Structure 1
Amino acid sequence: MNFGEFNDPQAAPGGGAARAFPCTLMQERLWSLHEKNVPRGLNVAMRWLVNGPLSSATTEGALQALVRRHEVLRTSFREIDGRLAQIVSLACQIRLRDIDLSFLSADEGAARAEEMARTEAVEPIDPGQAPLMRATLLRLAPDRAVLLLTFHAMVVDGWSTGLLTGEFRAAAHAIDAGATPDISEPEIQFADYALWEKELLASDALDESRSYWRHRLRDATGTEVPPDHSSTDRRSGSNHIVSVLLRDDLSRAIEGFARQQNVTLYSLAVAALALMLRRVTGDPEIVVGSQVANREDPAAEALVGPTVNSITLRLPVDENAGLHAFVASVAGSVHEALKHQRLPFEIAEGFARRRDGTPLHAINLVVHRSYSGTAETERDGSGGFNLVSLPSCSSGSQWPLNFYMIGRDEGWRLSCEADAGLYDLETAQGLLEAWRKCLEALATSADGRVADCPALQAISPPAGENDASIPFHNPARQVVRFHEGGSRTPVIMLNNVSVYYPLAQQLGEDRPFIDVQLFHPTGPLELPPHDFEVFAAYAIRFIRWAQPKGPYILGGHCIYGTLAIEAARQLQRRGEKVLLVALFDSWAPGYREDMSPRDKKLRKRRLGMKTYGERLAQYRRGEIGLNEIARKPILRRLGLLGPDPEPEQPLGEWFDTYLRAAAVRYRPSPYDGDVVLFRSQETLRGRLFDELMGWGPLVAGNLKKVEVSSAHLDMFREQPAAHIASVIRGMLAGKEAR
């Protein structure tokens, strides 16, 4: 069959009582989530306190009037010829559940009503069966009740619930007065809106917005607060929700500051969230999602249906900027994004070159005044009852972290909703309090550098794992991929792109190979002293950008092998699985540093003799003259000759220097995982040069040593790389089969 056009709706299969229309892109996305059995965020749950008499017949009659008036409340969904359609029925019956709790004490009744409201909010609604709504009246006393209305997000959004609240109240008052409620058809129905969107997207009207989002989202990486638990197989239907009501004086200060700076409260809330996430994650650029009503057309203001759209806010946070300048910058970014809000997010997100499993919006922000009105507007004095909006219960969230700032009668309320499978309650509480502090700091602090604000300095990342002072810029410039089409678990190596290439080739095209260059290409940068664990956490941010979920295979040459094993340790703590860590001529931390002074001296002497022997071999091959190995060293010892000019520093050597300094202080506990140590022929042997390079006491899992017939810097040439690849394939064969 063909889908209906504006004035030519087609009958749905089965005849007579229904018509089929195309769906919006957002409806198609929500349907996809339903099909994937995603247990969160697909309901819109509202509740009101009813003061005064409200009968079951009046309630059901008023709801039936809403269903008759708005087609979207008579709509169900199913696929027709492989495409999702919204099926509008000509009639649809709503059934009210009327539950008496008045036999309970006031406290028991309120507790039971709260419990039932929470259960009702998360109970799935079948989008294939109209109406996509449920109504429950919980009677606490003869003149006091709680009304619960729960809709599927495919038929209403927050704005719609505000419209429906007013219409319900008017319809119920009319019924109580013996009059007929208004069931006249609105100016446009949601099916018209869906058809209009289809025409809009087929035109060139949004070309400027497409260009804006294509440029804005190029190489964008969604900000993520590292979870307390593994991101694999842990997402559940349960969430932690924590809230705080802002003090009256703080609310007034925030509103006054926004007026003074000529910015919206929305922009101010975004700026505070960006500051908080900058402090917590260390990311210099914050990328989050947010929702807009998307009702710029006046005709859409009275439309019941899900017009809401998501936008992406990409916000650089410069801690050297002034507080007021930062707020103005964020407001400018928000303004630009809102100018292009009409392009559906389902199209815009395609412009972000993300890898599978990496959400562009891992963190979301919602800011608005209560859609359900205020106590003043709802207590309008007409009829025998009034409605007072109550905070809605969560139906779950489509995002791991969702932040709200909602204006209600009692003031501005901040909330943080966190996936309980990923984040502990304490984490959600800490993030919420940090957001509040940032909002207060922006509104009440004297202007000055962001970095110098005392209130912000009190907000710090988790110790050792998310330090803000190692800049994390565009990861796409520092991650190199080979064999992207391979089906096996990727091998991730740290910091030697050209050196590792032969190993990538030897491992084969079915094995994706990823190299992470940790030093930033615009360096050298000046870094303060860091613990080694901080460098590993910095590496993990690149690792998880390249491969968001485990299992992981990590490796590194020399000092970067040590970094790889610490990164593996931290990934394990986050619940991720690490199949193997490969070390290439990597000395264990503390092995050399903790030797006795005498052994250190002996070891240094042996290394000096080795270096002299190598120089002598160069002389015999004619590569250097006698002057280099005899005359110059004697003159330098006598102080008659200065050192040779420093050779040009290899690219990235500045980063290696910082890393080695941190490794000197690094003393880890044993790593509980499998490790393979590849040792070149060049490394010395003997009592001061342990066969396992000091790793024996530091690996609690299986530790295997493999001799490689090569020099230290030649381990990845074709012949030794072939041997290394063969060993790695053999060790992984059993692990990947399980």
Structure 2
Amino acid sequence: MLSFAQQRLWFLDRLRPGRPDHNVPTAIRLRGRLDQGALVLALTEVVRRHEVLRGRIVVVDDSPYQATAPVESFTPTVTDLTDLSAAHAHEQVRELVARDAQAPFDLGSAPMLRARLIRVADEDHVLSLVIHHIAVDGWSLSVLWREFSTVYRAAVSGREADLAELSLQYRDFARWQRSTHTGSAPQGQLEQWRRQFAGRIPSAFPTDRPRPALWSGRGDQVDIDVPGELSDRIRALGQAHDVTPFITLLAAFQVLLAHHSGVPDVPVGTPISGRTRIEVEPLVGFFVNTLVLRADLCGDPGFGEVLDRARRCAADAYAHQDVPFERLVEEVGPERDLGRHPLFTVMFQLDEAPALPSGLPGLTVSAHPVPHNGVKFDVEVSLTDHGDHFSGVLRYATDLFDHHTMERIAREYRSLLDRLVSDPERPISAWGPRLGPEVGEVVPPARPDTVPTATALPATAPCRRDGSPTETELLVLDVWAGVLGVTPDSVHADFFAWGGHSLLVSKVMSRLSRALGLELPLALLFHHPTVTELAHAIEAELTRDLVSTGSGPQLSPAGEGLRR
């Protein structure tokens, strides 16, 4: 059994297989005398303790489940570069770390953790880990490094590690979550989210170019730095309004979004640990949930009032955080669009400095940079609280934005922060009367209402001369009835209008693929959501397969004889 979050990642992997979109890479540099055997033992023990790291996804009756592989499935790779010059070795390290980070996982094969130890010199090593997000989150990395450190210290001392066996595994959480969110238990929290999104179409950050039909994940980033003096004032203002630095930084960015979009409500997503039960705190796994925070900037308030509103908004969201984001998407039912994230397009987060191993005898540990050129949202702001200042990056989709645009946004954000905290009672419009591009900039055309489809369809839909459904349409209707529990009343019925959602798409396309003996892409149903459109798209796929292989079932022009 998978958790809701795991099931969504499994679906996204099937929708666009062979991509590294959900890889979580991290790397550390180890200077000093390293005990390689102790390091391998420490990593292996962490994998043994946390079954999710050596799991794989199996499909039974069109539904995904997690199976656990033996710990022997995990084997770290050791790469020795000591025969290279120092400059060449470090260049190779960068290439290896980047290549590992971009290598996709096969979710049907264990483990979900890859490790490479790179020996640069006798007392200089780099350890690169890549974990699929389906098995890990940010909190989990702290757990992983803490246990790794404990086992390593014990191993170099020749003793057993003092780690209590885990009483729970991630699969226990997944089972609990499924049982908790079945039936009427979560309806109260779901209703609150429904009211928040009822009749309100999320606004998006204005882009430099029209949005493509398919999300590519290509991205770049610019740096954001908030100096110490400004950081101190941000903390002081937050304390005066009883809000955290996160709320203050987020509220300022929402003001910036409002200035650029021209609307007072641009929803922003933010991650939350999702560990609402103390029993799961020592576990590695994908617990993190996503909350959607909607700013209320109506009436041109001062920033102090914005902070008060933001505090109430956040408190309400936290009070309803038990609803998995995946359930929220199903319930709200946003317009299906493979070119954007549902419900929001901007992500904002503030984290502490990333966790590292500690107390390793004879070793100095530091973070090693990992290239990050992929994005999941239009704009992602990721800041770190260093105690005396804030810094981070603004990542963006290069399909949508130019680099100079994002550099300007980063500069404006820092400048706006300074102005807002300096005079929090002044109306926010005073700091951003401009509600669009800078003077002289070319405004890109709006995205067309029509979205290009993966398979071009002729103007006429497939049907027999007497108007009755084709064999292909009958097959689609039969499969839909089995998955939806109700039979659509027309070949023009829309799958999503009849209660279908993204996770049911997988079941439909799996059953159709089995019936036809051809692997059909999941995206086909998104692009062709009605019975007749999907039937014709399937026939086009089958015809393409026949042409490429020269074999297969013989089809009549109307698709008769297809069902078998």
The two structures have a TM-score, normalised by structure 1, of 0.56
1:319 is displaced (CA, Å) by: 6.0
For the Cα contact (< 8 Å) 1:235–1:420, is it kept in 2? no
Of 320-329 and 135-144, more deviation after overlay is shown by 135-144
**What is the aligned counterpart of 1:71 among 48, 51, 57?**
51
Are 1:364 and 2:347 an aligned pair?
yes
User: Which is bigger in relative contact order (C-alpha 8 A, separation at least 6)?
Assistant: 2
Structure 1 counterpart of 2:116: 136
Are 1:398 and 2:382 an aligned pair?
no
Count of aligned pairs? 448
Amino acid at match of 2:396: A
Amino acid at match of 2:413: W
For the Cα contact (< 8 Å) 2:212–2:399, is it kept in 1? no
1:171 is displaced (CA, Å) by: 1.2
User: Compared with structure 1, are the counterparts of its residues 432 and 187 closer, same or farther at alpha carbon in structure 2 (3 Å cutoff)?
Assistant: farther
Structure 1 counterpart of 2:540: none
Amino acid at match of 2:393: S
Of 240-249 and 190-199, more deviation after overlay is shown by 240-249
Structure 1 counterpart of 2:426: 448
Separation of aligned partners in 2, 1:372 and 1:174: 20
RMSD of aligned Cα (Å): 3.0
Q: Secondary structure at the match of 2:181?
A: helix
Are 1:238 and 2:214 an aligned pair?
no
1:210 is displaced (CA, Å) by: 1.0
For the Cα contact (< 8 Å) 1:286–1:314, is it kept in 2? yes
User: Compared with structure 1, are the counterparts of its residues 446 and 310 closer, same or farther at alpha carbon in structure 2 (3 Å cutoff)?
Assistant: closer
Separation of aligned partners in 2, 1:251 and 1:103: 46
**What is the aligned counterpart of 2:437 among 440, 461, 485?**
461
Matches within 5 A, 1:248-327: 248-318=228-298, 320-327=300-307
Matches within 5 A, 1:596-675: none
User: Compared with structure 1, are the counterparts of its residues 433 and 116 closer, same or farther at alpha carbon in structure 2 (3 Å cutoff)?
Assistant: farther
For the Cα contact (< 8 Å) 1:122–1:396, is it kept in 2? no
Structure 2 counterpart of 1:553: none
Between structure 1 and structure 2, the one with the greater Rg is: 1
Separation of aligned partners in 2, 1:463 and 1:353: 38
Q: Residue deviations 1:167-191, cap 9 Å, x none?
A: 1111111111112335653131101
Q: Residue deviations 1:380-427, cap 9 Å, x none?
A: 4x5222432345543722222211112247842221111222222222
Separation of aligned partners in 1, 2:375 and 2:15: 15
1:130 is displaced (CA, Å) by: 0.8
Q: Residue deviations 1:631-677, cap 9 Å, x none?
A: xxxxxxxxxxxxxxxxxxxxxxxxxxxxxxxxxxxxxxxxxxxxxxx
Matches within 5 A, 1:677-692: none
Q: Residue deviations 1:108-132, cap 9 Å, x none?
A: 5444433432332221111111111
Separation of aligned partners in 1, 2:292 and 2:99: 32
**What is the aligned counterpart of 2:399 among 417, 421, 431?**
421
Of 347-356 and 54-63, more deviation after overlay is shown by 347-356
Report the identity percentage.
24
Are 1:435 and 2:413 an aligned pair?
yes
For the Cα contact (< 8 Å) 2:380–2:394, is it kept in 1? yes
Separation of aligned partners in 2, 1:410 and 1:54: 33
Unpaired runs of 5+ residues, structure 1, are 1-21, 468-478, 480-486, 490-508, 513-547, 550-738
**What is the aligned counterpart of 1:343 among 315, 323, 335?**
323
Q: Residue deviations 1:221-242, cap 9 Å, x none?
A: 2332233334225643431022
Unpaired runs of 5+ residues, structure 2, are 444-448, 450-456, 460-490, 495-525, 528-564
1:64 is displaced (CA, Å) by: 0.5
Are 1:384 and 2:362 an aligned pair?
yes
User: Compared with structure 1, are the counterparts of its residues 458 and 246 closer, same or farther at alpha carbon in structure 2 (3 Å cutoff)?
Assistant: farther
Separation of aligned partners in 2, 1:305 and 1:427: 37
Of 408-417 and 156-165, more deviation after overlay is shown by 408-417
Q: Residue deviations 1:307-354, cap 9 Å, x none?
A: 111111111223621110111111211111111111011111234353
**What is the aligned counterpart of 2:151 among 171, 180, 186?**
171
Structure 1 counterpart of 2:186: 206
User: Compared with structure 1, are the counterparts of its residues 350 and 314 closer, same or farther at alpha carbon in structure 2 (3 Å cutoff)?
Assistant: farther
For the Cα contact (< 8 Å) 2:381–2:395, is it kept in 1? yes
User: Compared with structure 1, are the counterparts of its residues 114 and 238 closer, same or farther at alpha carbon in structure 2 (3 Å cutoff)?
Assistant: farther
Separation of aligned partners in 2, 1:47 and 1:371: 11
